[in-house]
Structure 1
Amino acid sequence: MNFFYLYGEVNELFQAWLKDDQENINEELADVAIFLLGISEMVGSDLGEDIIKKMAVNEKRKYINEKKIEG
């Protein structure tokens, strides 16, 4: 069920972004983070650790004109 709520919060964040409503953007970002942390806890994941690992993977990726280059 939390996945559906997360989807809704991401949509609300997107709508706030479209309106350039910074106060609402900040609020919706917080909601997204809260649901992500909740889901992370439900599945036994350490979200902070996972983010650090994923950032290390992303640092090694190469892009040209915002397109990922394989290899």
Structure 2
Amino acid sequence: RRSLALFGYGPKTLARILRMRRALDLAHAGAPLAEVAARTGYADQAHLTRDVREFAGMPPTRLLAEAGG
């Protein structure tokens, strides 16, 4: 309940968002997406891409390009 009150979503969603942010930080630093996915606990690159699309509304390559990385 605290997670829902503080962040607007439950703890599992929060964990997914935090994992995605860690992955995007690694990708922004130049690591290949397949390696990023493996290092951050995704099953594969497609799993990472699905999460990024769900939360950011675009694939990670586009998100990184728009963020300047």
Under a length normalisation based on structure 1, what TM-score does the superposition of the two structures give? 0.36
Structure with the higher strand share, 1 or 2: 1
Q: Report which of the two structures shows the higher radius of gyration computed on alpha carbons.
A: 1
Q: TM-score, normalised by structure 2?
A: 0.37
